[in-house]
Amino acid sequence: MTSEEPTIDWNDPDGEIARAAKAYRNWGRWGEDDRLGTANFITPEIRRDAASLVRRGAVFSLSQSFDENGPQNGWRRRTNPVHTMLDTGLDAEFGDQGFPHGIGGADDVIAMPLQASTQWDGLGHIFDRGKAWNGRAAGSVVTSEGDQVTGIEHMSSVLTGRGVLLDVGRHLRDDGELPDGFAITAEHLEATIAAQGTTAEVRSGDMLLVRTGRLTRARREGWNGYAGGPSAGLSFTTAGWLHEREVAAVATDTWGFEVRPNEFDNAFQPLHQVAIPNMGLTIGELWDLDTLAEDCASDGVWEFLLAAAPLKVTGAVGAPVNPIAMK
């Protein structure tokens, strides 16, 4: 199945975003009270079949680290996690922790934005012209007390199923790293599927992972704008492809999921604006796909069981995740 690239007037971002939002909108598809969006495509049958993909027992964590050495640079008050010890071994060895019979312990705390490292964007994270997912008024969904309707906690038992990795960086570049500003189109996605073979076919209910190689370069050169700066990413034109394929969720090894700078002048994250509030698509960012990609290239198998439950933070519009791929 292929998708014809839409004709886009790149000088009319407002009109093109509105057109795509209307064309790919899933409002009401799963009822007026829906809180899951495209995650509804992951059926019990899909999860059952995905479990059969575990044959070698190989396990891959797709999470970056959560520590003070992370990629955040303070943009929109996003900082790296700060980990602090409340009790240490020294407290147990030399202090009096108040426990009987010689038992001691260590304890700690972490302070961090929920989107500081590997994470999911929840359905309350982005709005389109004052509307949240399923056509609800944004102000009635997310208040000062958090997301009252589509909080990330509703995804806590949903995002497990078949994962498929498209290593576009490896397919298009000898070094496996796409240049900043490279817009990955549906044609690039289809070509990568054809090159990787049948296990890379993207089906309804899949969680799609797209590797650009941006994290690989950041590891070698330093963060250098990895969070918020230029990067390869999905083109605005892929909205129709994601909609047609009935992708349940999508994640990349980049900060922004879509290409940066964005393809329209004077626009900010237009694919987010279509995908989250209109399509109901859950988006993952800052994922570490390198080790999994090496394994998939080695054995030629690009599908796997993916368990990617977000941290169950009530009312959050995004949450950390330690995605686990099993082959």
Please give the structure tokens belonging to residue 307: 């368990």
Q: Is the peptide bond before 323 cis (omega within 30 degrees of 0)?
A: no
Using the Cα atoms of residue 174, residue 326, residue 198 and residue 183 in order, give the sign of their dihedral: negative
Mean pLDDT of 49-59: 98
CATH number of 13-74+114-326: 3.50.30.50
Task: Quick: pLDDT tens for 62-86.
Answer: 999 999 999 999 988 999 999 999 9
pLDDT for the residue numbered 5: 75
pLDDT for the residue numbered 3: 56
Task: Quick: pLDDT tens for 100-159.
Answer: 999 999 999 999 999 999 999 999 999 999 999 999 999 999 999 999 999 999 999 999
pLDDT for the residue numbered 95: 86
193 pLDDT above the threshold of 50: yes
Q: What is each CA distance from 103 to 88, 93, 272, 288, in whole angstroms?
A: 13, 10, 51, 39
Mean pLDDT of 257-284: 97
Report percent pLDDT > 90 for the chain: 96
Contacts of 278 (CB under 8 A, 6+ apart): 20, 21, 22, 24, 25, 26, 27, 128, 133
pLDDT for the residue numbered 1: 46
| Phi then psi dihedrals of residue 176, to 5 deg | 75, 10
Q: Is the Cβ–Cβ distance between 166 and 192 less than 8 Å?
A: yes
90 pLDDT above the threshold of 70: yes
- d(CA 140, CA 94) in angstroms, rounded, equals 53
- Domain boundaries along the sequence of the chain: 13-74+114-326, 82-111
